[in-house]
Copies of this chain bind each other. A is one copy, B any other.
Amino acid sequence: MISKTLVAASTKPVILSILASGEMYGYQIIQHVTEVSGGTLEWSEGMLYPVLHRMEKEGLIQSQWRISDNGRRRKYYHVTKLGQEELERDQKEWMQVHRILTRLWSPLSLPD
């Protein structure tokens, strides 16, 4: 089980990363996250949908209703230009913090 704060910190980057390689709908994102994380991340719908709505409001992603072959209505999301830029910033930030942590964890605190 991953701690609450770490889940919170990784949610947006994970969503943007996934959508960057192709559109997807909410329910599918949840399954995909379970899959690519090997079960480490297990998102609930009640956690994901509000995040998707906020991200759309912020202009990072955009949605589009569509009806699938089997007649189900699905809301497909894709990344916007702004979202792509945000993802790049997120990656940089993550790596910065990662470097700080790994430096603290290595006994000698070597430079990069």
Count of this chain's copies in the oligomeric assembly: 2
Total residues of chain A contacting the partner, CB 8 A: 29
Cβ contact within 8 Å between B10 and A8 = no
With a cutoff of 8 Å between Cβ atoms, the chain B residues found around residue A13 in the complex are 101
Chain A positions within 8 Å of B, measured between CB atoms, are: 2-3, 5-6, 8-10, 12-14, 17-18, 36-37, 40-41, 90-91, 93-94, 96-98, 100-101, 103-105, 109
New contact pairs (20) apart from A8-B8, A9-B9, A17-B101, CB-CB < 8 Å? A3-B90, A3-B93, A5-B5, A5-B8, A5-B12, A6-B93, A6-B94, A9-B10, A10-B101, A14-B101, A17-B104, A36-B100, A36-B104, A36-B109, A40-B96, A40-B97, A91-B101, A94-B98, A94-B101, A98-B98
